């Protein structure tokens, strides 16, 4: 029995980590810029057999650790175990069909030949007709859904939204949680290349969706007209929501209460994804997953520790 972990910062180095008992051997090999095929060959060659080490914790990387280390995308974690395998790709979110990251995803997909595929974000019940449509409408998760087609099991690895909300309202007021989600959706709207509706219409729809959740029902804002006064009341001193910069919902920042809520949301989602992915690997699946790159960076220590423990949990 054994496990091999390949951690790839695709622009710089391939790291092959072989763990024998408590001894950890790390081989670091420089990689030419954009030499991803070479990196992939290194990853797929890293299959070994040795005793599993015992992991004591399954914690994700702390935000302090995360802030100290520079990363580039795509960030890839490739893990092989006696049970299954994982190819986990972290990217910068994009809806540009010509983005080089998406070409790398397609190359990795073809070489890895997965049994199941996971992505970040809401479920996509069906694939679009073309690759370009898939990416423009649903970013990189649309590409994953398109590649899976109708022959491969593919799904979102997000926790149930109601469960995430229930977790957040334990610590924050429901009004604050609802406004946070609206503000996060506003960032998502700003990434759209050719939106089918105005920002106000988009946010109105999102407020309606949020108001359908039990924990946020009859909680302001219940309409776009209520967003400005609700924002001013529960996030005083920040001015108008219309002028809010994207960094206010960035979980790696600590500038506002919105950042704090975003961090709590991200931590909850990361823990769920770690369990979701690891369970699939332990069920003898070849798992291919794509998310925003910071999730892969922060989840990698927990996934590696859990799988090193031999799928005993």
Of 109, 84, 6, 47, the closest CA to residue 281 belongs to: 84
Between 24 and 195, name the one with better pLDDT. 195
Asked if residue 84 lies in contact with residue 285, where contact means CB atoms within 8 angstroms, the answer is yes
List Cβ neighbours of 24 (8 Å cut-off, separation of 6 or more): 17, 18
Domains of the chain by residue range:
4-159+270-308, 161-266
Provide mean pLDDT across the span 213-230.
Answer: 97
Residue range 143-173, pLDDT digits in tens: 999 999 988 999 999 999 999 999 999 999 9
pLDDT over threshold 90, residue 305: yes
Q: What are phi and psi of 186, to 5 degrees?
A: -65, -40
Q: What is the pLDDT of residue 192?
A: 73
In this structure, the dihedral spanned by the alpha carbons of residues 277, 150, 104 and 9, taken in order and rounded to 10 degrees, is: 0
Of 8, 24, 21, the closest CA to residue 71 belongs to: 8
pLDDT-based confidence at residue 195 (cuts at 50, 70, 90): confident
Q: What token pair was written down for 5?
A: 């972990």
Residue range 128-144, pLDDT digits in tens: 899 999 999 999 999 99
pLDDT-based confidence at residue 276 (cuts at 50, 70, 90): very high
Q: What are phi and psi of 236, to 5 degrees?
A: -65, 150
Q: What is the pLDDT of residue 46?
A: 43
Provide mean pLDDT across the span 178-197.
Answer: 86
pLDDT-based confidence at residue 54 (cuts at 50, 70, 90): very low
Q: What is the pLDDT of residue 3?
A: 53
Mean pLDDT over all residues of the chain? 84
Q: How far apart are CA 278 and CA 281, in angstroms?
A: 5
pLDDT-based confidence at residue 269 (cuts at 50, 70, 90): very high
Beta bridge partners of 7: 15, 77
Q: Give the count of alpha carbons within 13 A of 197, CB side only.
A: 10
Q: What is the pLDDT of residue 203?
A: 95
pTM assigned to the model:
0.82
Between 30 and 266, name the one with better pLDDT. 266
Burial of 5 (0-12, 13-18, 19+ CB in 10 A): buried
pLDDT over threshold 90, residue 205: yes
Residue range 3-32, pLDDT digits in tens: 554 544 443 333 333 332 222 222 333 333
pLDDT over threshold 80, residue 300: yes
Provide mean pLDDT across the span 190-198.
Answer: 79
């Amino acid at each position: 029995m054994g496990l091999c972990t390949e951690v790839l910062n695709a622009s710089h180095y391939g790291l092959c980590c072989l763990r024998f008992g408590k001894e950890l051997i790390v081989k670091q090999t420089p990689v030419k810029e954009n030499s991803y095929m070479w990196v992939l060959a290194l990853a797929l060659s890293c299959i070994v057999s040795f005793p599993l080490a015992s992991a004591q914790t399954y914690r994700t990387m702390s935000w302090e650790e995360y802030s100290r280390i520079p990363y580039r995308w795509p960030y890839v974690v490739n893990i092989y175990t006696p049970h299954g395998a994982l190819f986990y790709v972290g990217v910068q979110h994009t809806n540009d069909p010509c983005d080089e990251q998406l070409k790398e995803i397609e190359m990795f997909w073809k070489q890895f030949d997965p049994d199941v595929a996971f992505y970040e974000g809401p479920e996509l019940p069906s694939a679009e007709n073309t690759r370009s449509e898939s990416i423009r409408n649903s970013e990189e998760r649309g590409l994953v859904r398109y590649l899976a087609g109708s022959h491969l099991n593919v799904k979102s690895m997000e926790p149930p939204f109601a469960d995430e909300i229930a977790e957040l309202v334990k610590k924050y007021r429901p009004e604050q949680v609802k406004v946070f989600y609206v503000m996060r959706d506003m960032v998502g709207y700003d990434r759209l290349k050719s939106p089918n509706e105005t920002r106000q219409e988009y946010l109105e729809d999102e407020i309606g969706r949020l108001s359908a959740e039990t924990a946020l029902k009859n909680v302001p804002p219940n309409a776009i007209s209520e967003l400005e006064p609700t924002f001013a009341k529960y996030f005083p001193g920040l001015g108008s929501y219309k002028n809010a910069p994207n960094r206010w919902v960035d979980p790696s920042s600590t500038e506002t209460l919105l950042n704090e809520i975003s961090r709590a949301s991200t931590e909850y989602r990361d823990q769920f994804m770690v369990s979701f992915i690891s369970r699939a690997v332990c069920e003898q699946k070849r798992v291919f997953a794509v998310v925003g790159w910071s999730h892969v960076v922060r989840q990698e220590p927990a996934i590696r520790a859990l799988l090193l423990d031999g799928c005993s949990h």
